[in-house]
Chains A and B, each alone.
Chain A
Amino acid sequence: GAGVSQTPSNKVTEKGKYVELRCDPISGHTALYWYRQSLGQGPEFLIYFQGTGAADDSGLPNDRFFAVRPEGSVSTLKIQRTERGDSAVYLCASSLQGAEGYTFGSGTRLTVV
């Protein structure tokens, strides 16, 4: 597609539930990134994929968070046993040529109630 697509755009879930957030990157982009943005803050790095493998997952806050990219295209961010503190906008970006080539999606707004 023309841009990075994230679904759903909004997700409301109950505390303790499991959620999956999906990212469709720009076709051909080998690098894919997940960021999390809390209200009033800049985006914070979570994980970076180069192809199918996680090149850097040091930003994942704890083991409730996991992300996959099995075929080197679509990625899914998975959050287990959600907590109210997980409420944020989750942003996905893809890139072919470094930071100037970053294209972000519009994000998924996750609300844990």
Chain B
Amino acid sequence: DAKTTQPTSMDCAEGRAANLPCNHSTISGNEYVYWYRQIHSQGPQYIIHGLKNNETNEMASLIITEDRKSSTLILPHATLRDTAVYYCIAFDRGSTLGRLYFGRGTQLTVWP
């Protein structure tokens, strides 16, 4: 699976949009971009995924560049409960192997 690169940490004011970047310049055509987050002392939680098109769900939006070499996860109105480590993962859904490569992720801190 392609390696992803994320900033170590970011912060955001409560109520503002949090934009978390991810670089995946070696991503292959079969690999989706997945985002998970991990709140302290909990297991990772699925947020969203996409292949080419931008995606939106009740939690977040995912913007993928046209060349697919980078993406941005957007939390439109960050709350204190969004403080967590966010992981960007490239994953081939067609693979018979189920593993996800998490990396170190981005620690997002939302402050009041």
Residue ranges of A at the interface with B (Cβ–Cβ < 8 Å): 4, 31, 33, 35, 40-45, 48, 50, 55-56, 59, 91, 93, 95, 98-107
Contacts and interface: CB of A to CB of B under 8 A. Distances in A.
Interface in B56-112: 85, 87, 89, 91, 93, 96-105
Nearest to A50: B98
Interface residues of B, number: 25
Contacts of A43: 44, 100, 102
Given A43-B102, A99-B93, 20 more contacts: A4-B43, A42-B102, A42-B105, A48-B97, A48-B98, A48-B99, A55-B96, A55-B98, A56-B97, A91-B43, A93-B43, A99-B46, A99-B89, A99-B91, A99-B98, A102-B44, A103-B46, A105-B43, A106-B43, A107-B43
A40 B103 CA distance: 10
